[in-house]
Amino acid sequence: MAWFGMDKTRRVAAGEALPGRAEALDTPDWHDVHEDRRIKPPFPDGLRTAVFGMGCFWGAERLFWRTPGVYSTAVGYAGGHTPNPTYEEVCTGLTGHAEVVLVVYDPAQVSYETLLKVFWEGHDPTQGMRQGNDVGTQYRSAIYYTDETRQAEAEASRASFEQALRGAGYHAITTEIAPLGEFYYAEDYHQQYLHKVPDGYCGLGGTGVSCPVGLGVRKG
């Protein structure tokens, strides 16, 4: 399938997507910063996971591995059609995936609501299929939830933060909030990239608007 000249801000349908592969990519089991912690299951009892897309996943992952209460992180692809995609395939716009971060956290130390606050304040969720100079569907803002409670918390936080953004002169939030299908781990060199390459590219930038907390939904 040719993709030269295609509009990378248009999400592809399942029938247009690249075929991918049955085999998972070869990726590490362990975190490069928290070296005694896994980035793949099994995780210690009591931990939970969350998946966020904030544009380029390098800077987004660093934001979360520095958040107190987060056990480990990994970057990957979600929200698309192509099984086990490569980074090069995702960059074509023909897999439908967003670049995302898997956040493994201890709800006794940090609530999902707090992670949502980190998410909203860490990028500009009003930009549609881009984040700063990074343009394409892979850079869209996204929250992928695993149950109805997380969905309710995500939607409540979106409504609260959108009100704050409107007051600061921003447009409507374009963040995709959807059930998590399959999370595919990105290649080894992407994992904890900004730890391996401290001066590497980070396109992450927030709006400077504070996200309210205390949304009236169950935490954790």
For the cut 80, the answer to whether the pLDDT of residue 32 exceeds it is yes
Q: What is the pLDDT of residue 218?
A: 43
Percentage above 90 pLDDT, the chain: 91
Domain boundaries of the chain, sorted by first residue: 28-196
Cα within 13 Å of Cα(133), Cβ side: 3
Catalytic residues: 56
For residue 38, the 8-state DSSP code is B
For 28-196, CATH number?
A: 3.30.1060.10
**Greatest extent of the chain over all pairs of C-alpha atoms, in Å:** 49
Rounded distance, CA 33 to CA 208, Å? 28
Write out the E strands in 55-140: 70-78, 98-105, 130-131, 134-135
Q: What is the pLDDT of residue 216?
A: 44
Element spanning 176, H or E: strand 176-179
49 three-class SS: strand
At 214, is the pLDDT very low, low, confident or very high (cuts 50, 70, 90)? low
For the cut 90, the answer to whether the pLDDT of residue 219 exceeds it is no
Residues 122-126, mean pLDDT to the nearest whole number: 98
Q: What is the pLDDT of residue 215?
A: 46
- Name the one residue in this structure whose structure tokens are 């781990």: 185
Q: What is the pLDDT of residue 5?
A: 54
- As a whole number of Å, the end-to-end CA separation of the chain is 44
Higher pLDDT residue, 118 or 217?
A: 118
